[in-house]
Structure 1
Amino acid sequence: MPDPFFDQLRRAPDVEAPDLVAVDATDRLLLDEAAAAIAVHPDGVLTVDDTHGALTLGAVALHGATGVRAHTDLRVAELALAANAERTGVQGFTVLPQLDATGARVVLVQAPKSLDALREVAEVVAAGADPSVTLFVGGRVKHMTRAMNDVLADSFEHVHATLARQKSRVLVATGPRPGPSSFPRVAEHPDLGITVAAHGAAFAGTKVDIGTRALLRQLPAEGPGVAVDLGCGTGVLAVALARAGFAVLASDASAAAVASARETAVRNGVADRVTVTRDDALAGVEPGSVDLVACNPPFHQGTTVHAGIAERLFEAAARVLRPGGRLLTVYNSHLPHRPALQRLVGPTRQLSRDPKFTVTESTRR
């Protein structure tokens, strides 16, 4: 149903497309289910992973919340929240660089994709929020499982599900049971000689996914110069590049990835050669300042496959590479990325290919 307030919201600077929306049924259901709790505790609202600002701005504009605190894992979500706040004129919220639930009484969460990400949110809320806190976790029914209830039950006494509406559902948790955090988790990979640390929302967790392994095999053995691990995740490529002699910038839009990559660099003894930053598509990097970029780009926007996500990273790589600099990219072999790489970066050649993954090298014009 159209809503004059929500109709003002946009995804920008996130990818815009007809099948991608700024406000979904889950946002609306979360706000409706939490309305009574917000009315009782208007100054105790925390939003988590609010993708484009609907939860944060809606809590203020529609339900009278004051001093809302918002933490989003993705930097682009922060930027979209700021843009929508300016567009709508809504104020009365602050953005948290790290998740901090201290004193929160009402917590609204867009359900993350992984159970580990949900577990870390639940642990942080249970440990820091007011004992009276109510945690609302919303998602599309097709992506919600019984295991999510179980994860919440590890940190809360009572968990129940609301009735579904427009194919969305909300899990409600009360009675926090504070305990020690189980993150970051750490795993050794003797075959690679790398120790990986991972927070809950970091892609692949403590595993090294097969795409990253394919790209690792194509990295230069030595390389004085400046290299970027673009979309660094847990920092595996950054460690390998640092060991090869590069000064490395590891960049990711995810706060969980950045925290993970920093810890991974420390545990592998290369923290002095790896600078880790949270950034949206290398916005803070000078044009033409980089010799090599390594990238294992995502191809999902939430649960939607969209080529525009990877192409934003290819454009970023082209901007920061010096003429003659190289972009090494790994991607699923069925994806048509090579024409985009040639168009956005420069001449592109295949380094390896198997039924699952292709690795290419693009040279900046």
Structure 2
Amino acid sequence: MPASLLPEALLRPDGPIAATDRELAAVFAGWPLGHPDARLVQEYLTGRAAGVLDVSGRPAAGSGAEAATMGTDGNGTDGAGTDRTDGVDTPAPGSIVLDDASGALALVVALTGAGPVVAYADSIAAEESARRAVDAVEAVGSRIQRMASVQPTPGLRALAEASRSLPGPCRVILSAPKAVRVLDEYLEVLAPVAAEFVVVGRDKHMSRGLNAELAKFYDRVDVSPGRAKSRLLIASRPRSAASQGTASHAPVPGASDRIPAPRTAAVSTRVPGIPDIRVSAFGACFGGPTSDPGSELLLDAVRSHLGPAAPATDLPEADGSPPAAAEPVPTDADQPVAPRRILDLGCGNGWLLAALGALHPGAALTGVDVSRAAIASAAVTCAAGTPDGNGSRARAADPHHSQPTCPRLLLQDATAPLPWGAGAEAVAAGMFDLVVLNPPFHDGTTIETGTARTLIHRAHELLAPGGRLVCVFNTHLRYRPIVDRVFGTSVQWARDRRFTVVSAAAPT
């Protein structure tokens, strides 16, 4: 949204924009550079509060500002095809900020509004980064409620609980998600208590699917003018209120108890000896209810080298050609043995954990992930899909299999220093015989490899003497030299057209 949409009175050095800029510049170097989404929200909320912008982010009737008439559909209407002449602002008594990775959105909302702010992020690493930014501004820190107080309840239920702390209908600000399913789940939880639902993001990340999803819950969806290649989708007039003939700013109270169910699918694998696993995934869980092909290659490598005594069967490539041969296992005294304590460092939807439980039914399993949605998904997957759940083909076929333990799942930023947690439940150095790792290489929509480097170091700390890391990665990322530097040496266990699996042993 061009700053010219706001009158000079709001932009001058003694105006409200300049006042919040001073607070924000103390936290974010070069503000507003590098924060186009937060700047857009700052101007939108300031203009709404002053009565110079309407709900669409355009000049309100009679404001005297020059109107901007082009939306993203290019025909002068908003994304839902509605007019822009109504939308009188009713201040929300509170706000919810979702998936704010830097804290800039939460600070902007708190500095430009009068009510309390609930800040929620699926990634607890993003939430911690935002917390540090918020704590740097003493004037608003006490008004922003973060998820730390409800962290033992991961996933959407924590958000539903937090929404009930607000005094009335609220405004929701969401950083544009990678998947429409994420927005759908947030809407199911929050639309009943949100008078207005705003999605902010870069133009290239704002698909029309987001407009359509908002239109399922709201009668009006506006597309704001753009600013620095960012824009807003603003949903108003909740359908639940309109259907009952009530005011458009009065959603149905108490409906935030409704928690969406995860998507679920029965997943088969080409890895011998692994049964079908019923996989569940909430919207923000990477990959959905599927098995990742890299994790499949990793699992087959574990089966071949550490699994039951059976001839190794290499997975064919997608085009049917055989994969590259694994390097021979070193013939020193430190031969791999079946693991008793297994950690999946970034467990995602839990498929790999459940499959490892089928492969090693006597092992104690632990899964760690930074995502609330991932931990919630893995809990459902492991309850239904591991051999001690509801669909055990492995134990039915072999009643003499030892009883596996239910995996322990830990919501944790695995890049943080050890130990994780406290007391008897703490995860500390030297606890595991096997750490499996399929490291991420995206941070939101940005490609990065720093997280993987840190996780490889963390795996080295977590392994007991003689324990093994088994790591899979996209071959072009070339992580093996990092493994070699951390562990001293590594061996390639598998490779196909896309992925490489390497293993390295901790010193005995």
TM-score (norm: length of structure 2): 0.65
Q: CA deviation at 1:353?
A: 1.1
Q: Give CA deviations for 1:14-45 in whole Å, capped at 9, x if unaligned.
A: xxxxxxx9952112212332345678546411
1:174 aligns with 2:240: no
Distance 1:23 1:10 in 2: 9
2:415–2:454 contact (8 Å) kept in structure 1: no
1:280 aligns with 2:413: yes
Q: Give CA deviations for 1:80-112 in whole Å, capped at 9, x if unaligned.
A: 122223333341111134222444511111011
Name the residue aligned to 2:402.
none
SS of residue matched to 1:240:
helix
Q: CA deviation at 1:275?
A: 0.9
Name the residue aligned to 1:292.
434
Q: CA deviation at 1:123?
A: 1.7
Amino acid at match of 1:154: K
Name the residue aligned to 1:15.
none
2:41–2:108 contact (8 Å) kept in structure 1: no
Q: CA deviation at 1:121?
A: 1.3
Distance 2:37 2:340 in 1: 46
Amino acid at match of 1:50: D
Counterpart pick for 2:307 among 221, 236, 241: 221
Name the residue aligned to 1:250.
367
Q: CA deviation at 1:7?
A: 3.3
Distance 1:358 1:312 in 2: 19
Counterpart pick for 2:378 among 243, 248, 261: 261
Name the residue aligned to 2:146.
95
Q: CA deviation at 1:181?
A: 5.5
1:48 aligns with 2:98: yes
Residue segments in structure 1 that go unaligned for 5+ positions in a row? 12-20
Structure 1 range deviating more: 269-278 or 237-246? 269-278
Q: Give CA deviations for 1:42-81 in whole Å, capped at 9, x if unaligned.
A: 6411110011211112222x21444211110101112112
Structure 1's 160 and 248: CA in aligned 2 closer, same or farther, altered over 3 A?
same
Structure 1's 64 and 143: CA in aligned 2 closer, same or farther, altered over 3 A?
closer
Counterpart pick for 2:198 among 136, 140, 144: 136
1:196 aligns with 2:279: yes
Counterpart pick for 2:178 among 113, 122, 147: 113
1:225–1:246 contact (8 Å) kept in structure 2: yes
Structure 1 range deviating more: 175-184 or 262-271? 175-184
Residue segments in structure 2 that go unaligned for 5+ positions in a row? 4-17, 51-89, 152-157, 241-254, 270-274, 309-337, 390-404, 421-426
Name the residue aligned to 2:82.
none
Q: Give CA deviations for 1:181-214 in whole Å, capped at 9, x if unaligned.
A: 5531110014451110010011111121212221
Identity %: 35
Runs of 4+ with >6 A deviation? none
Distance 1:297 1:38 in 2: 44
Name the residue aligned to 1:163.
225
Distance 2:462 2:126 in 1: 23
Root-mean-square deviation over aligned CA pairs = 2.5
Q: Give CA deviations for 1:246-268 in whole Å, capped at 9, x if unaligned.
A: 21111100011010000101112
Name the residue aligned to 1:305.
447
Name the residue aligned to 1:333.
475
Distance 1:81 1:297 in 2: 23
Structure 1's 120 and 38: CA in aligned 2 closer, same or farther, altered over 3 A?
farther
Distance 2:307 2:455 in 1: 24
Amino acid at match of 1:150: A
SS of residue matched to 2:301:
coil
Structure 1 range deviating more: 21-30 or 112-121? 21-30
2:369–2:413 contact (8 Å) kept in structure 1: yes
Q: CA deviation at 1:155?
A: 2.3
Structure 1's 233 and 22: CA in aligned 2 closer, same or farther, altered over 3 A?
farther
Name the residue aligned to 1:67.
116
Amino acid at match of 2:480: R
Amino acid at match of 1:313: L
Name the residue aligned to 1:210.
293
SS of residue matched to 2:368:
strand
2:92–2:169 contact (8 Å) kept in structure 1: no
1:123 aligns with 2:178: no
Distance 2:92 2:191 in 1: 20
Counterpart pick for 1:233 among 341, 348, 366: 348
Name the residue aligned to 2:324.
none
Counterpart pick for 1:83 among 132, 157, 182: 132
Counterpart pick for 1:57 among 90, 103, 107: 107
1:251–1:282 contact (8 Å) kept in structure 2: no
Distance 2:365 2:262 in 1: 22
2:383–2:406 contact (8 Å) kept in structure 1: no
Structure 1's 224 and 305: CA in aligned 2 closer, same or farther, altered over 3 A?
closer
Structure 1 range deviating more: 221-230 or 195-204? 221-230
Q: Give CA deviations for 1:277-327 in whole Å, capped at 9, x if unaligned.
A: 110016412111111111111101222211102112112212211222111
Distance 1:313 1:177 in 2: 45
Structure 1 range deviating more: 46-55 or 276-285? 276-285
